[in-house]
Amino acid sequence: MNRKLIYLLTLGIFVTATSELVVSGVLNAIAEDLRVSVALVGQLITVYSLSFAVGTPIIVSITAKLPRKTLLLGSLAAFLVGCLLSGAGWSFETLAAGRAILGVSAGVYMVVTLGSVAKLVPPDKIGSAMGTVILGFSIAMVLGVPIGIAVAGWIGWKAIFLLLAAAVLLVLIGAAVFLPRIEGDAPVPFRRQFAVLASPLVIAGLLLIFFREGGTSVMYTYLTPYLQTILHMKPSGIAVAMLILGLLGAVGSRFGGYAVDRWGAVRMIAISLALPVAALAALPALKASLAATIAVLAVWIFASFMVAPAIQTYFVQQAPQSVNLIMGMNTSLTHLGIAAGAGLGGAAVDASSTVLYNPWLGAGLLALGLAVSVVIWSAQARRAKARERLTA
């Protein structure tokens, strides 16, 4: 396994993930500079997510036969354009257009990177490689967003995108020089590519993704208000807690890649979903204890990130001939789940006037995803055993 190439691709994930996450931390600065409302600036997150969710699977599916290096370089070049357009910041409309380009290009880059990693490493190292790549997203949460917020306060929010443009240019040059030729998917008719979506095992994975991201988003979107209003933490304490949780997420992602190579994707998915269900279900009852709540949140975050390499490996195993299409659907449902979870979490807060019960809603969504998947996996296993008996 060429670790330098994996780290180069991971750096690209870090840069693209930072572009996605950093906006939520500088909404007020953008609104003040462009003289628009914070609510309107908040729609930049929606523009990014919808572009990511809708544009990624379309582009990935129609370019399935292209060499992966060509598509990677193209997505990085488009991302560079999106950064420059966003950094120009002439108007809200210009920024929205830049965000749309960033959303699509980041989505394509992520999908193609995950698919390429599966072809760059031996089968028994896929989980570890996936864990390393996904670590780029975790590091973006831990370092990328705080650094971006600091840059915005120091020299302005536009500089964030110009710095991201410089960083992605380095990744683009490195990929052009060092990345080998990686073939696209085998020539499969467009209709047959989508036929893989009829597989019960693939459907199970996609449903799991949607409910998992929805359940996580219900809690994560409102984690800061939870720490403020339920645990009465001060801003400095929240910052420390978020840093610790982010670091645990990064460790969880790395451990998840190690574990899936040894214990299998399905087993790790089941474990990594059962733990957050139990953790979130217990949270409201622990509100009187800060230490216990932080400990349970640590378990939730660690397990939530631990599952990511297992899910990516699962899709590679279930649809090796259509890996880029499935990865595209995976990332689309991820962003749709995040949006749905944030919306449900907001509705729950409006209905109850507190964030205390959001963990229960999140646990319910996660349990639903796990239950649906277990039912499908069990039915598929029974069918396989029945076929074995008939052929014996």
pLDDT at 256: 81
| DSSP track, 48-67 | HHHIIIIIHHHHHHHTTTS-
- Which residue's entry shows tokens 């990177």? 113
Residue 375, pLDDT above cutoff 90:
no
* Closest among 303, 252, 294, 298 to 276, alpha carbons compared: 303
Output the pLDDT for position 190: 53
User: What is the three-class DSSP state of 90?
Assistant: coil
pLDDT number for residue 243: 75
More confident residue, 145 or 284: 284
Contact 101, 59 (CB under 8 A): no
Structure tokens at 374: 């277990």
The tally of CA atoms less than 13 A away on the side-chain side of residue 364 is 9
- Is residue 194 over pLDDT 70? no
What does the pLDDT read at residue 239? 67
The alpha carbon of 327 is separated from its chain's Cα centroid by a whole number of angstroms, namely 11
Instruction: Give the residue, 380 or 160, on which the prediction is more confident.
Output: 160
CA angle 366, 369, 370 (to 5 degrees): 85
pLDDT surpasses 70 at 167: yes
Domains of the chain by start residue, with CATH: 1-184 (1.20.1250.20), 188-392 (1.20.1250.20)
- pLDDT of 189 higher than 70: no
- pLDDT value, residue 95: 93
Q: Flag whether pLDDT at 192 surpasses 60.
A: no
Q: For 185, which DSSP code?
A: S
- From residue 34, give the alpha-carbon distance in Å to each of 28, 40, 49, 89: 10, 11, 21, 8
Residues 6+ apart with CB under 8 A from 40: 31, 92
Lowest mean pLDDT among 88-92, 156-160, 329-333: 329-333
pLDDT band at 212 (very low <50, low <70, confident <90, very high): confident
Say what the pTM is. Answer: 0.69
Most confident of 120-124, 150-154, 170-174: 170-174
Give exposure, 13-28, as e/b (b: 16+ Cβ within 10 Å): bbbbbbbbbbbebbbe
What are the residues whose beta carbons fall under 8 Å from the beta carbon of 25, sequence distance 6 or more?
145, 146, 148, 149, 152
pLDDT digits (tens, 9 = 90+) for 69-83: 899 999 999 999 999
Report pLDDT digits (tens) over 300-323.
Answer: 989 888 887 787 777 777 666 666
* Cα distance between residue 14 and residue 133, in whole Å: 9
Rounded (5°) CA angle 224-230-235: 45
Tell which wins on pLDDT, 385 or 11: 11
pLDDT band at 124 (very low <50, low <70, confident <90, very high): confident
Tell me the pLDDT band of 188, cut-offs 50, 70 and 90. low
Q: Which of 77-86, 245-254, 374-383 has the lowest mean pLDDT?
A: 374-383
How distant is the alpha carbon of residue 114 from its chain centre? 12
